[in-house]
């Protein structure tokens, strides 16, 4: 697939529209539909163009990316592992601790209400993260060190010195 060439003055929204037009098949219409659902759910969403041609939607942090491949349109939610997904839209990247993705194949249609709920929840999660007080606002607490406490590195070194290494067992060649 040919990547869109970014002109210096083109906005991210224009580049995303250009990508959708370039796709010109089911992938373009799928990406356009998902983009529309995101912007309907959050009129203040920020569209970005990152990583040499990936559409990104953000609000107080990344909501999701919209990638198009030969046989799939992939919507990856940056904090998807932290989102409730009662409709089980997430069907890809399920093993990770942070991201989750929705792979949409030709002929498939994502439930609009369930997708909008995921977008809404991702925005709420991002906004909640922004509302927390920064580390500078908290009063610093200094940990007192006792003479018996040691750093993990020192403890490991001490164990290594105290425990003699066993010599590897080698087989004789016949």
* DSSP state for residue 135 in the 8-state scheme: G
pLDDT value, residue 82: 94
Which sign does the torsion angle of CA 133, 136, 137, 141 carry?
positive
The residue extents of the domains of the chain are: 12-130
pTM of the model: 0.69
- Supply the pLDDT for residue 45: 94
pLDDT for position 21: 93
Whole-number Cα distances in Å, 2 to 23, 36, 106:
9, 23, 19
Q: Give CA torsion, residues 23, 24, 30, 31, to 10 deg.
A: 40
Q: Which residues is 73 bridged to in the sheet?
A: 68, 104
Domain 12-130 sits in CATH at: 3.90.1150.200
Q: Which residues of the chain have pLDDT under 50?
A: 1-6, 136-147, 163, 165-169
Cα–Cα distance for residue pair 97/37, rounded to 1 Å: 26
Q: Which DSSP string do the residues of 32-72 spell out, in sequence order?
A: HHHHHHHHHH-TT-EEEEETTTEEEEESSSEEEEEEE-SS-
Query: Distance (Å, rounded) from C-alpha 74 to C-alpha 54?
Result: 11
Q: Could you give the strand order of the β-sheet that contains 73-77, starting from the edge strand earlier in sequence?
A: 46-50, 54-58, 62-68, 73-77, 100-104
Render pLDDT for 75-96 as a digit per residue (tens, 0 to 9).
999 999 999 999 999 999 998 8
Half-sphere exposure of 160 (CA within 13 A, CB side): 6
């Amino acid at each position: 697939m040919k990547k869109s060439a970014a002109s210096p003055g083109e906005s991210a929204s224009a580049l995303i529209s250009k990508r959708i037009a370039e796709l010109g098949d089911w992938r373009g219409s799928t990406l356009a539909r998902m983009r529309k659902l995101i912007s309907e759910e959050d009129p203040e969403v920020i569209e970005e163009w990152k990583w040499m041609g990936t559409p990104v939607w953000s609000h107080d942090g990344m909501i999701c990316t919209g990638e198009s491949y030969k046989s799939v349109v992939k919507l990856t939610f940056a904090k998807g592992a932290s989102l409730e997904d009662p409709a089980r839209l997430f069907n890809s990247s399920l093993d990770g601790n942070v991201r989750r993705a929705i792979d949409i194949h030709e002929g498939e249609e994502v439930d609009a209400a369930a997708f909008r709920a995921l977008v809404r929840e991702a925005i709420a999660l991002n906004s909640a993260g922004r509302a927390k007080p920064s580390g500078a606002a908290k009063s610093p607490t200094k940990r007192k060190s006792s003479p018996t406490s040691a750093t993990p590195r020192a403890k490991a070194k001490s164990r290594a010195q105290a425990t003699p290494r066993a010599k590897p067992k080698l087989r004789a060649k016949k």
